[in-house]
Amino acid sequence: MPHLQWKKSVDLWLVLAIIFYFFAAQAGLLLTFEISKESILWPPPGLAFALLLFWGKRIWPGIIIGSILAHLIWFLHIDVTLSPTVIYCAVLMSAGQTLEALLGYFLIKKVIGEFDGFSKTNHAFSFLFIVLIMCLVGASVSTLGMFSGQLLPSDETPSFFFFKWVSNVVSILVITPFLLSWKWRSHIQLGKTTLFETAFFVILAAGVLYLNTILSIKNSISSAIPFLLIPLLLWITFRFNLKLIMTLVVATAFTSIYITINKSGPFYLYTEENSMILNQIYIGMISITALILHATIRERNEVQNHLKNFNEKLESMVTERTKKLEEEIVVRKKMEEKTKSSNRRLKKTNTELDHFVYSVSHDLRAPIASILGLTNLAKSETDIKNIKEIISKIQNSASQQDKFIGEILDISRNARLVVKAEKVNFSEIVDEAFEYGRYGYPNKNVEKELDIRQEGPFSSDKQRLKVIFNNLIANSLRYTNGKKPLIKVSIQANDKIAHITITDNGIGIGKEHLDKIFKMFYRATDEGAGSGLGLYIVKEALDKLKGEIKIESTPKKGTKVMLEIPQL
């Protein structure tokens, strides 16, 4: 069954080939001169080559039968009576045309391989050279057939060979690519630019046709039309596919031939032979020019698409690699920052430890030494009043030591304990801070002004907030200016941040101390006998809460402390 199907398929192709040949011959007869009856464009050679490239070499019987039919039609057209000799010539010429097509087919397969529609410039040039070579076979065998059948005088043999060779070349250059262009799928893309350019060329063509009606320049315009078609051909080659390009070439060929055989136009010369050769050369040139240009443009587009895809892949690879490098850089930076942070903390801890050991040894021993001295003094004292004064001093020394130990514990807790988010009531924390201040400084009658505006819930570490407020209010009470202490507390808190301002009328801080007051054990003044830990504790607690502190101070007028604490 498969063999039977294949046989039926081949028979169908043979029938189709013969039918195509018949119509091709009839079309060629329409393009002949009136006197010489020579056809400027004889389609059968181009049809034969196209059929082989379409269906393969197994179609050759259909080609030779169709070619015999076409040659017999041609002999009848030139008023040659059919005879055994004429049939012999037709068969020999048909054999030559079939050999011509088969040679071209094998050369295409050998040189180009799978023919995919003039996709490369070297394919177009190879096609041209193959056509020039293969047509030598057809022209030689046809000349031999005409000469051996005594239908061709010996003195006309060279010119007949040349005319036949040129005719076959032009037929294959025009008809074969036109037919093959319908084999390859393609589509036309019409954008705004293409439509605008089309309208421009239509208007230009109409203008040329109008100029051709003006008698004074009619001859010049008529002679220039073949050259004016070149820009149109170039534009279509750049904008459209091979199907439309070859359609324009075929239309141009048939139009120029029709004008020439009617003895007008730029290609009509004094003799029909010269007119035919000039027209054929023009048709062949525009066809091969269009093919080479189309192949060049297609090859360029393929290279551009390849480069575009390569660039996209390269860009993707670079982007991916860059992303990985950025991730590595981020990881390294994090490690470096972590290392730097650890080094800073270690350096800070070592420095603070040195200060701590020195200061603690001094600040802890000083009250004890004072207490021991006062105790020895009390042993020898008999006056009750003096004894009470000594006891009061002992109490102050003990209180100072107790406060110092409390500050050391605050530092320790702030360093060790994790930050804990709790609902905060600023009014309660401020009241507790003032109570803590009154306990530490019972003899100071403080005047306070409070402006606390808390809009909605605010979460933070309540214990650290208490330490911050206790130290700041205690400082305002400790460093008074010999007058009644006035402390103003302003708080504006929402669900994102709390702005806190604490202002006093104390002794103030000199500008030369402002950038040092947050250091451990740093004292801006000897008044009040502070430990130098209060503002250090405040700054450390704020760092844990991601808050900020800013201090403005004027000596003998007071200090303003501004805090910003974000909600946890």
Phi, psi for 151 (deg, rounded to 5): -100, 0
> Which token pair is 41?
């464009």
pLDDT, tens digit, 9 for 90 and up, residues 455-511: 888 888 888 888 888 888 888 777 777 677 888 888 898 888 889 898 888 888 888
Check residues 166 and 413 and name the one with the higher pLDDT.
166
User: What integer pLDDT is reported at residue 391 of this predicted model?
Assistant: 72
Residue 106 pLDDT level (bands cut at 50, 70, 90):
very high
Among 17, 39, 42, 40, smallest CA distance to 171 is for 42
User: What integer pLDDT is reported at residue 416 of this predicted model?
Assistant: 59
Task: Yes or no: say if 459 and 421 are a contact pair by the CB < 8 Å rule.
Answer: yes
pLDDT, tens digit, 9 for 90 and up, residues 223-268: 666 666 777 777 777 677 778 878 888 888 888 888 888 877 777 7
- Residue 122 in this model has a pLDDT that exceeds 50: yes
CA 206 to CA 228: how far, in whole Å?
12
Check residues 348 and 153 and name the one with the higher pLDDT.
153
User: What integer pLDDT is reported at residue 15 of this predicted model?
Assistant: 79
- Which residue matches tokens 């023009």? 282
51: amino acid identity, one letter: L
- Residue 222 in this model has a pLDDT that exceeds 80: no
- Which residue matches tokens 């109570």? 435
User: What integer pLDDT is reported at residue 399 of this predicted model?
Assistant: 63
- Residue 288 in this model has a pLDDT that exceeds 80: yes
- Residue 130 in this model has a pLDDT that exceeds 70: yes
3-state class of 120 per DSSP? coil
Q: What is the mean pLDDT of residues 356-364?
A: 52
User: What integer pLDDT is reported at residue 145 of this predicted model?
Assistant: 83
Among 125, 135, 127, 187, smallest CA distance to 166 is for 135
CA 540 to CA 414: how far, in whole Å?
7
Lowest mean pLDDT among 142-146, 149-153, 366-370: 366-370
The whole-angstrom distance between residue 163's C-alpha and the CA centroid of its chain comes to 57
Q: What is the mean pLDDT of residues 71-84?
A: 78
Average pLDDT, the chain: 77
Residue 4 pLDDT level (bands cut at 50, 70, 90):
very low
CA 160 to CA 166: how far, in whole Å?
10
Start-to-end C-alpha separation, the chain: 86
pLDDT, tens digit, 9 for 90 and up, residues 332-346: 888 888 887 777 777
Phi, psi for 271 (deg, rounded to 5): -125, 155
- Residue 356 in this model has a pLDDT that exceeds 60: no
Helix, strand, coil in percent for the chain, rounding step 5: 70, 10, 20
pLDDT, tens digit, 9 for 90 and up, residues 7-34: 445 567 677 777 887 888 788 778 777 7
Name the strand (E) or helix (H) holding 203: helix 192-211
- Cα pseudo-dihedral 229, 115, 58, 6, rounded to 10: -110
User: What integer pLDDT is reported at residue 209 of this predicted model?
Assistant: 56
User: What integer pLDDT is reported at residue 187 of this predicted model?
Assistant: 54
The CB-side HSE value for 312 (13 A sphere, CA atoms) comes to 5
User: What integer pLDDT is reported at residue 14 of this predicted model?
Assistant: 75
3-state class of 91 per DSSP? helix
Residue 482 Ramachandran class (φ > 0 left, ψ -120 to 50 alpha, else beta): left
Percent of the chain with pLDDT over 70: 74
pLDDT, tens digit, 9 for 90 and up, residues 159-212: 889 988 998 899 999 998 888 888 766 555 555 665 665 566 566 656 655 555
Helices 121-148 and 44-55 sit at what angle, rounded to 10 degrees? 130
Measured from the Cβ of residue 443, the count of other Cβ atoms closer than 10 Å reads 5
Lowest mean pLDDT among 206-215, 220-229, 341-350, 558-567: 206-215
Domain borders along the chain are 418-566
pLDDT, tens digit, 9 for 90 and up, residues 301-331: 888 888 888 888 888 888 888 888 888 888 8
User: What integer pLDDT is reported at residue 372 of this predicted model?
Assistant: 62
Among 473, 469, 481, 450, smallest CA distance to 547 is for 469
The whole-angstrom distance between residue 563's C-alpha and the CA centroid of its chain comes to 48
Looking at 30-152, list the stretches that DSSP marks H as alpha helix, in order from N- to C-terminal side: 44-55, 60-77, 84-111, 121-148
pLDDT, tens digit, 9 for 90 and up, residues 146-162: 888 777 788 888 888 99
507: buried, middle or exposed (CB in 10 Å: 19+, 13-18, 0-12)? buried
Lowest mean pLDDT among 502-506, 510-514, 558-562: 510-514
Residue 3 pLDDT level (bands cut at 50, 70, 90):
very low
Strand partners, 565: 498
Q: What is the mean pLDDT of residues 56-71?
A: 82
> Which token pair is 505?
């009328």
Phi, psi for 11 (deg, rounded to 5): -60, -40
Report field, pTM of the whole predicted structure over 0.85: no
Q: Please give the CATH superfamily to which domain 418-566 belongs.
A: Histidine kinase-like ATPase, C-terminal domain (3.30.565.10)
CA angle 295, 300, 303 (to 5 degrees): 125
3-state class of 553 per DSSP? strand
Task: Yes or no: say if 167 and 74 are a contact pair by the CB < 8 Å rule.
Answer: no
Task: Yes or no: say if 458 and 423 are a contact pair by the CB < 8 Å rule.
Answer: yes
